[in-house]
Amino acid sequence: MTPLLQVQDLHVAYRSRTGEVCHALAGLSFDLGPSEILGVLGESGSGKSTLAASLLRLLPPSGIITGGRILFEGQDVLHARPREMEKLRGRRISLIFQEPSVALHPAMRVRDQVEEVLRAHEPLDFAARRNRTRQVLASLFPADADRIANSYPHQLSGGQRQRVLVAQAIACGPSVVLADEPTASLDPTTQQEILTLFRTLRQALGLSMVLITHNPGLLAGLADRVLVLYAGRAVEVGPAESVLASPQHPYTRALLRCVPPLDQKSQASRKAMLPVISGESPNLSVLVRGCPFEPRCPEKMEVCKSCDPAAVPLSEAHTVSCFKFPG
Amino acid sequence: MRYLLRRMLHAVFLLFGVSILTFLFSTLAPGNYFDEMRLNPQIAPETVASLRAQYQLDRPLPVRYARWVNSVAHGQMGFSFAYNSPVGPLLWVRARNTLLLTLTATLLAWALALPLGIWSAASLGRLPDRALSWTTATLLVIPDLVLALGLLIMAVRSGWFPTGGMVSVGFESLSPLNKLRDIAIHMTLPVVALVISALPMLVRHVRAALAEVLDAPFLRAAAGHGIPRRRLLHRYALRAAANPLISLLGFSLGTLVSGSLLVEVVMSWPGLGPLLLEAILARDLYVVIGGVLLSTIFLVGGNFLADLLLLWADPRIRTEAGAE
Amino acid sequence: MFQVSRLAILGGDGVQLLLNVENLVKRYAAGKSFGSREFLAALDGVSLSIQIATTLALVGESGSGKSTLALCVACLERPTSGSIWFDGRDVAALSEKQQRAVRPQIQLVFQDPSSSLNSRLTALEIVAEPLIIQRRFDKQARSKRACALLERVGISAKKAGSRPDEFSGGQRQRLAIARALALEPKLLILDEALSALDCSVQAQIANLLLELQFSLGLTYLFITHDFAMAAHLADEIAVMDHGRIVELGAAEKLLRSPEHEATRCLLAATPRFRGTANLPEGL
């Protein structure tokens, strides 16, 4: 399986006005196969939003890609000219934004907003564009596509808005969709609905997806592989079932233990203290040697302080960056 | 519709309020037109008294106000002592001239301010933006009077433009096309003065409104969909930044009548400026009241127009208005 | 620093209710047509009660009326009808002025702490503010107490002079909790207070809430759409749907045998992954 998208040793830093440098991504590598869903699991400060923005080179002016390579279908994304990037965004790689309530223009009709995406990429005349828009919207809103098309964002529910964002993202038939916390602001049932939609889209259109989230529960049953991001590094990558069910990296283990399970039977575990990760989230402004999780790690060793752990393969697809595992 | 109706009703109330207040204040102000006459030894005190009676200045205030409202309803708006004619037609001719000047200037200023503001916001913090910010800041600190006088001096020195009035001698004998040209040449100087004085503020407002929107998530999202930058600026950003700009437009329409007074006086444009100045100096009561009322009408009208535009431009306001 | 006397109320054998809401109705005018007004019932006859020093979780979709209920209980909205018995008084029937005396005892903590904290004030000032408004203590005692409160929620005294935007999301929520505790409330309404936080931070704040409940005898109304967290923190769970409580019961029972369709829907939609809870510490 040749990867569709390859990220190699990506480094991204933000420089604040005071000159402080924040290393949001520090040597991230992964790849994404055709019609594969990769779940990126990370907490705030792990660099997950930076990841989405740098894949499309949409970083704010303060963010600089300081090293590494991003290859999309063999094309070097980091060296593409601005015009080429505009062609890539929305057409080959599209992005589903975090907050559906603010990611749509408040004063434009849904139809126009979907049409604008087509207009930017496809040489269609007005009627053809309108027609395509109707088709795309009809595929997402089988019941009332016309009503939705005529609506303004504020007249829609959160789930409907999220579907409009999906419509924009798939309008030009991209091969990769990046979704950055696509369901964070939705109700659980709506959330499930959108996740089901993602599953359907992958099957129907053969889409590849990078699903970025802080909620491990979203990835179960949806992602093929999971990448756990900590301090801008991939600490664990592997098949979703094995990473979520039997995590190996101390951070992944600690993170997954924080979530209270739903099916606890015993009264004793209810209202009991949850296991937490001690210490503070990493300070990214100093580039430290060694494992970034070392200060909080319950199983730290001498070597963790001084050397960067390399990715150790546990099985064919499962790798962990930790010295606990003999390389 | 109910929303508009309510707005309209609101406007009418406002106009009445303003008229009562101006009436009150202008009668409370010390002195009136006839006080000057009384000092003139050639006019007999009886004549002054009979004039006062003729113009009913000796009647109680509510009566005078009622008579005045009646005369407004008939388009007369009271009587000018100095011109010895109804105020309505007198104001109308002058207001027409003023509007010709200020409307042209406002349109021109907006036509310049929009692209400049967009350009400035699009290059936020970079050279074009900084250069523009400096220029507008410099223009802002020049007093209007100095600006108008400077232009006047340049016109006199170069002789390219006439330095006063609205038409040349012998205007009546010109062909329609040449009449238009003649007015245009006379207008140039005051219009330039007005545009230069209004432009910096407008550019800054457009820039600020756009700069605020450029950070908005929906613009980043649109950029993420690969929508070209030009389109982002002109269709997405401008549209989203429209609300404060429309309000500003309403306001600038509202100041059309009063905004050019200084320039008109300095450049002797036969508009409301010189008329009102004379009227105030001479305590020509009803002309002053008429002028104030006229600018109130424009202010209210401008805001009403802005409300209409907002209703058209922003679907959220439309929904709100519909729900009322 | 806190009086724990409240715990004494629990000493008896009878069940002590801190909050008892009876048949609460809240309607909002939503009429478009002239003359005949239409009303939208945000709360349509809600009854529930919370025992002292326990937690009731209120679970439901957005728009089901959870937040309206919270506002009514906090005396920030007047219900259309029904009664809210709090600590032996029907607060819904009190006058505005009488309510003002009750309000300090019921505190709200919201989802987004950054929008409910004044970014110009320091952490210490934020926590001391309610005390200033209620004219409690003198200046010195106030800041001493605010300091103690900050420490109580896990913010070190070193950071007392920092402003909200220098804190992380979790710390800001701790700050919001400290402020809510300043007036020694009896009831804390947590309106989606954990929803915006990362998993690991959620666990920390959840632990803080549990620990505060144990040590201070606080009573919680925990509003959430996260069934898993509700099941973990609450003694009882009430499921809301379209302005009504459709199911109410002990947390275990509700999880094991949900009866109402809405409950089952919510349970089915709760994200879960297998097995991780039983992981031993370390390998």
pLDDT in tens for each of the 327 residues of chain A?
578 999 999 999 998 888 888 889 988 999 999 989 999 999 888 888 899 999 999 888 889 999 999 999 888 999 999 888 888 998 999 999 878 888 899 889 999 999 999 999 988 889 999 999 999 999 989 888 899 999 999 899 888 999 999 999 999 989 999 998 888 778 888 888 899 999 999 999 899 999 999 988 889 889 999 999 999 999 999 999 899 988 999 999 999 988 887 765 556 677 888 888 887 778 777 777 788 898 888 888 888 888 888 889 998 889 999 998 886
Beta-carbon contacts of residue B252 (< 8 Å; ≥ 6 apart): B106, B109, B110, B198, B202, B259, B302
Q: Do A94 and B231 touch (CB under 8 A)?
A: no
Q: Do A274 and C203 touch (CB under 8 A)?
A: yes
Distance of alpha carbon B20 from alpha carbon B12, whole angstroms: 13
Q: Do A94 and B319 touch (CB under 8 A)?
A: no
Distance of alpha carbon A291 from alpha carbon A299, whole angstroms: 12
Specify the pLDDT at position C278.
44
Ranges assigned E (strand) in B15-139 = 79-80, 85-86
Question: What tokens were used for C111?
Answer: 């989802």
Testing the interface with A: which of B219, B225, B235 to mutate, by most A Cβ within 10 A?
A: B225
Contact A96, A143 (CB under 8 A): no
Asked whether residue C29 carries a pLDDT value surpassing 80, the answer given is no
Contact residues on chain C for A254, CB-CB shorter than 8 A: 200
Q: How many CA atoms lie within 13 A of A302 on its CB side?
A: 0
Share of chain C above pLDDT 90, in %: 32
Q: How far apart are the first and last CA of chain B?
A: 10
Q: Do A90 and B226 touch (CB under 8 A)?
A: yes
Using alpha carbons, select from C92, C100, C107, C137 the residue that is nearest to residue C212: C107
Lowest-pLDDT range, B147-156, C180-189, C269-278?
Answer: C269-278
Residue C111 identity: Q
Specify the pLDDT at position C4.
35
> How far is C-alpha A212 from the chain's CA centre?
2
Specify the pLDDT at position B300.
85
C142 backbone dihedrals φ, ψ, rounded to 5°? -60, -50
By DSSP bridging, strand A319-321 and strand B79-80 are unpaired
Show which subunits contact A, needing at least 3 CB pairs below 8 angstroms.
B, C
Specify the pLDDT at position B262.
82
Testing the interface with A: which of C264, C276, C283 to mutate, by most A Cβ within 10 A?
A: C276
Q: Do A258 and C202 touch (CB under 8 A)?
A: yes
Nearest CB to B226; choose among A88, A98, A107: A88
Show which subunits contact B, needing at least 3 CB pairs below 8 angstroms.
A
Nearest-Cα residue of chain B relative to residue A174: B225
Specify the pLDDT at position C33.
47
The shares of helix, strand and coil residues in chain C, as percent rounded to the nearest 5, are 40, 25, 35
CA distances (Å), A127 to each of A119, A132, A173, in order? 12, 9, 19
Helix H or strand E segment including C271:
none
Q: Is residue C6 included in any domain, yes or no?
A: no
Q: How far apart are the first and last CA of chain A?
A: 25
Contact B192, B260 (CB under 8 A): no
Task: Give me the total of CB pairs closer than 8 Å, taking one residue from chain A and one from chain C.
Answer: 136
Contact residues on chain A for C62, CB-CB shorter than 8 A: 158, 187
- Where helices occur in chain A by DSSP H, the ranges are 48-55, 82-88, 110-121, 126-140, 145-150, 158-170, 188-205, 216-219, 240-245, 250-258, 302-306
Q: Is residue C187 included in any domain, yes or no?
A: yes
Specify the pLDDT at position C31.
52
Position with higher pLDDT, B79 vs C99: C99
Q: Do B227 and A58 touch (CB under 8 A)?
A: no
By DSSP bridging, strand A37-41 and strand A208-213 are parallel
Q: Do A91 and B221 touch (CB under 8 A)?
A: no
Contact B261, B298 (CB under 8 A): no
Using alpha carbons, select from B298, A257, A231 the residue that is nearest to residue C280: A257
- What CATH number is associated with residue C158? 3.40.50.300
Q: Is residue C235 included in any domain, yes or no?
A: yes
pLDDT band at C237 (very low <50, low <70, confident <90, very high): very high
Q: Is residue C242 included in any domain, yes or no?
A: yes
Give ipTM to 2 decimals: 0.86
Burial class of B167 by CB neighbour count within 10 A (0 to 12, 13 to 18, 19+):
middle
Residue C115 identity: S
Q: Is residue C3 included in any domain, yes or no?
A: no
Beta-carbon contacts of residue A199 (< 8 Å; ≥ 6 apart): A222
Over residues C113-143, the pLDDT tens digits come to 777 888 888 888 899 888 888 888 888 888 8
Contact C154, C106 (CB under 8 A): no
Nearest-Cα residue of chain C relative to residue A271: C233
Using alpha carbons, select from A323, A299, A304, A302 the residue that is nearest to residue A312: A323
Q: What is the average pLDDT score of chain A?
A: 88
Task: Give the Cα-Cα-Cα angle C165, A218, A256 (nearest 5 degrees).
Answer: 70
Q: Is residue C176 included in any domain, yes or no?
A: yes
By DSSP bridging, strand A208-213 and strand A225-230 are unpaired
In three-state secondary structure terms, A178 is strand
Number of domains in chain C: 1
Beta-carbon contacts of residue B134 (< 8 Å; ≥ 6 apart): none
Q: Do C270 and A281 touch (CB under 8 A)?
A: no
Q: Which domain holds residue C266?
A: 15-270
Q: How far is C211 from chain A (nearest CA, A)?
A: 8
C 95-154 residues inside an 8 A Cβ radius of A: none
Using alpha carbons, select from B108, B132, B254 the residue that is nearest to residue B190: B108
pLDDT in tens, chain B (324 residues): 677 788 888 888 888 888 888 888 877 776 667 776 777 777 777 777 777 777 767 777 788 788 888 887 887 777 777 777 888 888 888 888 888 888 899 899 999 999 999 989 888 878 888 888 888 888 888 887 888 888 888 877 877 777 777 777 777 777 888 888 888 888 888 888 888 888 888 999 999 999 888 888 888 889 888 888 888 888 889 888 888 888 888 888 877 777 788 888 888 888 888 888 888 888 788 888 888 888 888 888 888 888 888 888 888 877 766 554
Contact A75, A248 (CB under 8 A): no
Asked whether residue C1 carries a pLDDT value surpassing 50, the answer given is no
Question: What tokens were used for A313?
Answer: 């393969």
Report the CATH superfamily, name and number, of domain B88-323. MetI-like (1.10.3720.10)
Distance of alpha carbon C147 from alpha carbon B23, whole angstroms: 62
CA distances (Å), A103 to each of A97, A113, A148, in order? 6, 11, 16
Specify the pLDDT at position B261.
82
A 48-107 residues inside an 8 A Cβ radius of C: none
Specify the pLDDT at position A327.
66
C 72-91 residues inside an 8 A Cβ radius of A: none
